[in-house]
Amino acid sequence: MKTHKILLVTTLLTLQAACSPDSGPENETTRAEKSDPNTVRLTEKQEAITGVKCEMFSKRPLANLIKAPGFIDSPPQYKATINPYITIFVKKVHVIVGDRVSKGDVVVTASSPEYVSLQQEYLQTLSSLNTLESDFERKASLNQENISSRREFEAARAAFQTASARKAALQSNLQLMGADIARLEEGEIHSEMYIRSPISGKISALQTSVGQHSAPHEVLMEVINSEHLHLEMKVLEQDVPGVKEGQPVIFTLPDFEKQLFRGEIYRVGNTIDPKGRFVQVHAHLENENEGFLPGMFINSHIVTQQDSVWTVPAEAIVREGSDTFLFVLRGINGNGRIYQRKQVRTGIETMGYTAILNPGDSLYQDSVVVSGAYYLSNALNEAGGHDH
């Protein structure tokens, strides 16, 4: 059906381009239309069918861009994996994916016979340490008075220092596991241990459940702080010479294709990936957005040069081989609007707009066709208005 419509519209336009009206006053615009094979006239009805629309030329800041695909990421210090220090049995999980936690919040309650054994060993070491310390001090005193042998003194000192080191190591390990050392030294041994979040953020992954047996190397969950997100991009080696720190970055997201976001290059890598032949580029965001999540893919470009130039929407350009054309509104008479095809030189195309490089300012005062240009071009070509 769409093909039939296009054929019908083209046929109507061809007749208008090839034939002039048989009646009615002939004004200056009509005479120009007859003499110029690059003009086409549309009635009001034909404009409605073809959807031809016009806009004025406009100056826009177009830029030379380097394509740099990438993704949104979080710095290493703002993401953490949580795993137990010893073998545990999970008794309770306090969070779900998406929950916000603060640093130090309990996320898992677990039990562990190994945890109980470590507490017992700590108390035993603490008890023996008092005896060894007294023996060391007594033999140190006897050694000074030459009553005890030097060997006995050295043995007592070694035993005391070994016990002190064991106590310090056990205390550090138990504190990492969340043990209350003060209460433990009062004789309170706990079978439950509390695993806490090392950073503030949101739970991004959960890999445990009640009753699970987890070893020290097994990840229970992941936490990510999204307050300091950045962009990680890949620049091909041939484009690297044009990339510098401080250059602006523009990007879109697959779910927000019509919304443009901005950033700035912070670091450019100094090594080329041997397989992909690219360099890693790190950029900071201009503004944080709650919709941004670590791991999101981005369509990003690095702006290497930016100038204010005359532009038209990219769909206004008609390409025929190596030539480029556009249509401008040349006049209006009682029979409709007169459009003229003009050959132009184009520059860079960015974000849906194309730079027009024709010298002089007279062209830029015209109203340019921004929608339906290919309908007009087809009509002229079928009427013999352009030679190939």
Helix (H, G, I), strand (E, B) or coil at 374: helix
Which tops the pLDDT comparison, 211 or 365? 211
Mean pLDDT value across residues 164-173? 94
Residue 354, beta-bridge partner list: 312, 349
Residue 74 has pLDDT above 50, yes or no: yes
Burial of residue 202, with CB atoms counted within 10 A of its CB: 0-12 exposed, 13-18 middle, 19 or more buried: middle
pLDDT confidence of residue 360: 65
Tokens of 265: 């290059």
CB 324, CB 318: distance < 8 Å: yes
pLDDT confidence of residue 361: 63
1-74+229-388 topology per CATH: Elongation Factor Tu (Ef-tu); domain 3 (2.40.30)
Residue 31 has pLDDT above 50, yes or no: no
Which tops the pLDDT comparison, 387 or 106? 106
Confidence of residue 148 (pLDDT cuts 50, 70, 90): low
pLDDT confidence of residue 23: 39
CB 108, CB 208: distance < 8 Å: yes
- In this prediction the pTM is 0.58
Mean pLDDT value across residues 191-201? 94
Q: Give the gyration radius of the chain's Cα atoms.
A: 39
77-224 topology per CATH: OB fold (Dihydrolipoamide Acetyltransferase, E2P) (2.40.50)
| Residue-wise pLDDT tens digits, 288-332 | 787 888 899 999 989 887 778 888 888 899 998 889 999 999 888
- The DSSP result for 109-153, as a single string, is EEE-HHHHHHHHHHHHHHHHHHHHHHHHHHHHHHHHTT-S-HHHH
Which tops the pLDDT comparison, 5 or 143? 143
| Residue-wise pLDDT tens digits, 363-382 | 777 889 998 888 888 888 77
pLDDT confidence of residue 184: 94
> Residues with Cβ < 8 Å from 190, sequence gap 6 or more?
115, 116, 119, 179, 184
Residue 280 has pLDDT above 60, yes or no: yes
pLDDT confidence of residue 359: 60
Which tops the pLDDT comparison, 1 or 143? 143
Which tops the pLDDT comparison, 227 or 233? 233
Domain ranges of the chain: 1-74+229-388, 77-224
Q: Which sign, positive or negative, has the C-alpha torsion 268, 269, 272, 276?
A: negative
Q: Which of 19, 60, 23, 24 is nearest to 39 (CA)?
A: 19
Confidence of residue 107 (pLDDT cuts 50, 70, 90): very high
